[in-house]
Structure 1
């Protein structure tokens, strides 16, 4: 269930928002000023925050900036006064995703919350598509970097392509010729021994003991395969 933080100093509006959101199956937490809202966000870790602009102790713009700094992925909707275009601009500049003008129809707020959740879900899927994981390794296709236990591995471009290909196909036995064609290209003129040389170098960088590899296994008479370790 999506958790939504309401930060609004007027109790009547806060109650109105809470009822509207709860009726749409959202889990709602609330605070009456910016400082309490920030404290609550740190404890509850909400997915969405709905912030009034004018509040005591810490206004909505300040709270928006703090939330964006501490929780980069949180969705933020600002509640602004009618006709105050500067509030809308300031809110977006502070890191808000959207704004709703008071007085508003609760259906509009629900639609905007759901739109932000869809964008967040889409972004999460896009990030996941760029990541390949096989404990304790991780490949980030976007940055083309490889990690072991979250520490970056110093790999050559060909070593990176080798580990990426193997991790994408755990358990598959690749022949030396397949690896040569897939990593070096069909137009590469050279011996398949270059595959063995690069595998040996790669093992020295990722294995605890290169002579007794746990991850890149030798398939005798064929080539190599990736051994995916269970966590």
Structure 2
């Protein structure tokens, strides 16, 4: 069965262009011309991927992305925008998008990104995860996408959880921001690693007793981050 892609853009010419090229690549497609329609469809239909424009009527792309992740809809999202702005890139990925393209773009590039995202998602599904990973008061359940801290269930966006899991699986090792970008987002920002710092900050708010003096996720100055294998001084 062909994988199905939801194309969301308020410009009919762009939808037509994307629809043609994505279908030529062997995918089925569905379309939406506003954010509200896109959100309602994505909640009801199990798409394999969503191509989502940022600037939309009724509900913009960032709100669609945010609300889908809040509803635990983990469908991969490729975000499109006419804005070539660092803040937009960081915000889109922070909200749970999997990749990002600015207009104007090549339809072939869109198809290539779609295939890359789906390949990565397929590889992740094939991995046999550990039953759980325990680091002091933090217990992570990879298969369930759940984590418990001091007996309390934590809430994460998908990328927050994937970052936490990657750090935990490599506990005791210093990981550069570029390594984390490549591993968790599968994307190269040519040195722009602010998205990693933002997500680490969010994780610390959820698991650190004192965010100013973290004991789980340590900053290694000039190098990157490290999940402590043996956490001391926890309350």
Corresponding residue number in structure 2 for 1:70: 71
**Residues 175-190 of structure 1: pairs in structure 2 closer than 5 A:** none
Residues 14-36 of structure 1: per-residue CA shift (max 9 Å, x gap): 11111110000111011010100
1:19 aligns with 2:20: yes
Match of 1:141 in 2: 131
Looking at structure 2, the residues matched to 18 and 70 of structure 1 have their Cα atoms a distance apart, in angstroms, of 27
Query: Deviation string for 1:37-80 (max 9, x for gaps)?
Result: 01111222111111111111100000011122224431111102
Question: Do 2:9 and 2:52's aligned partners in 1 also have CA atoms closer than 8 Å?
Answer: yes
> Which blocks of at least 5 consecutive residues in structure 2 are unaligned?
140-235
Q: Is the 8 A contact 1:77 1:96 kept in 2?
A: yes
Q: What is the aligned partner in structure 2 of residue 92 from structure 1?
A: 93
Question: Which whole-Å deviations, capped at 9, do the CAs of 1:106-148 have from their partners, x for residues lacking one?
Answer: 111111111111110111011xx23xxxxxxxxx623599xxx
Q: Which structure has the larger Rg over C-alpha atoms? A: 1
CA distance in 1, matches of 2:126, 2:111: 23
Task: Give the corresponding residue for 2:217.
Answer: none
CA distance in 2, matches of 1:68, 1:118: 21
Structure 2 CA distance for aligned equivalents of residues 75 and 33 of structure 1 = 18
| Residue in 2 that maps onto 1:39 | 40
Q: What is the CA–CA distance in structure 2 between the aligned matches of 1:71 and 1:50, rounded to whole Å?
A: 18
Q: Which residues of 2 match residues 151-190 of structure 1 at below 5 A?
A: none
Q: Deviations over 1:75-100 (max 9, x none)?
A: 11110215333221211111111011
Q: TM-score, normalised by structure 1?
A: 0.54
CA contact (8 A) 2:68 2:74 kept: no
Whole-angstrom distance in 2 between the partners of 1:56 and 1:91: 17
Question: Residues 141 and 57 from structure 1, CA distance in 2 versus in 1: closer, same or farther, beyond 3 angstroms?
Answer: same
- How far, CA to CA, are the matches of 1:49 and 1:67 in structure 2? 11
Distance 1:78 1:86 in 2: 14
Structure 1 residue runs of 5 or longer lacking an equivalent are 131-139, 146-231
* Number of residues of Structure 1 aligned to a counterpart in Structure 2: 135
Aligned twin of 1:30:
31
CA distance in 1, matches of 2:28, 2:72: 18
Query: What value does the CA root-mean-square deviation take over the aligned residues?
Result: 2.1
Contact 2:43–2:73, Cα closer than 8 Å, also in 1:
no
